[in-house]
Amino acid sequence: MSAPVVEARGLGKVFGTGEAETEALRGIDLEIAEGDFVSLIGPSGCGKSTLLRLIGDLVSPTTGTLVVNGKEPRQSRLDRDYGIVFQSATLLDWRSVQKNVELPLEIMDFPDAERPTRAREMLDLVQLAGFADHHPWQLSGGMQQRVAIARALAFRPALLLMDEPFGALDEMTREAMQQEVLRVWGETGTSVVFVTHSIPEAVFLSTRVVVMSPRPGRISDEIMVDLPPKRDLDTREDPRYFELVIEVREALRRGESGSSGS
C-alpha cells in the first residue's frame, strides 16, 4: 500500500473565542488509504462537515496534524488534489452544463482544445451527454448533482470530498445516484470521503464507515464494510448488509450516550 491519502493525528478544531467558542472536533485520528471509500456518519452538528473542510483546507485546524496526499492541506489544495461536492449543486446558472464542468479546467489553465473534450468525457461518465447545452435550472435536482460530480472529477483529482451530496434528493433518485457514484468510483479509482447521515447509504457505498459522536465531535467507532466489492440491488438484500446496518446503528447509539469512546 502506498502512503495514505489522508492522515490525521490528534486533530481538533475550535470555532470562535470566549463566549462564542464551539469545540467542533477533538482528538481526531484518521487514516484513509488510496482507493478507499470512507463514509463519515454521525448526528447533525458532530463535525462531519468540519472534518471534510479541514481536509480540503477550507478551514484550518486548531490542534493536531493533518497530511493530505503527503502534503500540508494548503499545499494539497493549491495542487488541486481534490474535488468537492456539496449538498447543493452550486452550479453557475449563467453557464451551460458543459461550461459548468469546464469551470475548474479554465481556472486550472487546461489548454483550450482539451477542455470541451474533457467536459464531454465527464458528462458521459455521469450519463448526461445529451444535456451539455442545457442550463442548470433546466435539470432535476439529481441531474444537477451529477453535473456537480462531473465538475469535481473533471481535473482528475486523487481525492473526492462529498458533503451529504444526496441529502436533498428523494429516495429513488438517491439510490440511483449511489449506484452512479459507485460506478464512477470504480472507473476512476479516486479515493472518496463521503459525509452522510443515512446509515444504509454509508453501508452500501463504503469500504469503511467512520462513526462520529457529538459535543465535542470525536470518532467513536470505525466499521469495516466486508461486503463484496460489487454493490448492486442484491447487496441491499444481503443479510450481511443488514447486520452492518445494525452494527452502525448501535455504534451511533453508543456514541451518543457513551461519555468516552473505547
| 3-state SS class at 136 | helix
The listed partner (another protein, ligand ADP, Mg ion, none) that binds 47, CB under 5 to 8 Å by sort, is ligand ADP
Smallest Cα–Cα separation from 221: which of 240, 190, 248, 201?
248
Q: Residue 163: beta bridge partners?
A: 195
Nearer to ligand ADP, 88 or 127 (CB): 88
Q: How many residues does the chain have?
A: 262
Q: Name residue 161's amino acid.
A: L
Question: At 8, phi and psi to the nearest 5?
Answer: -115, 135
Our finding on whether 100 is near Mg ion (CB under 5 A) is: no
The listed partner (ligand ADP, another protein, Mg ion, none) that binds 58, CB under 5 to 8 Å by sort, is another protein
Rg (CA), the chain: 18
Q: Specify the residue for cell string 477533538.
A: 26
Q: Which of these ranges, 27-35, 47-55, 76-84, 145-153, lies near Mg ion under the rule CB under 5 A?
A: 47-55
Q: Which of these ranges, 13-21, 106-114, 119-127, 167-175, lies near another protein under the rule CB under 8 A?
A: 106-114
Q: Which of 39, 49, 144, 220: binder of Mg ion (CB under 5 A)?
A: 49
Q: Specify the residue for cell string 472529477.
A: 153
Residues that bind ligand ADP (CB under 6 A): 15-16, 22, 24, 42, 44-50
Q: Which of these ranges, 79-87, 119-127, 208-216, 226-234, lies near another protein under the rule CB under 8 A?
A: 79-87
Question: At 9, phi and psi to the nearest 5?
Answer: -130, 115
Q: How far apart are CA 245 and CA 150, in angstroms?
A: 29
Smallest Cα–Cα separation from 89: which of 5, 157, 173, 207?
173
Nearer to ligand ADP, 44 or 257 (CB): 44
HSE-CB of 92 using CA atoms within 13 angstroms: 11
Our finding on whether 166 is near another protein (CB under 8 A) is: no
Q: Which of residues 38-67 bind another protein (CB under 8 A)?
A: 53, 56, 58
Nearer to another protein, 19 or 93 (CB): 93
Residues that bind Mg ion (CB under 5 A): 49
Residues that bind another protein (CB under 8 A): 53, 56, 58, 77-80, 82-84, 86, 88, 90, 92-94, 96, 103-104, 106-108, 131, 133-135, 137-138
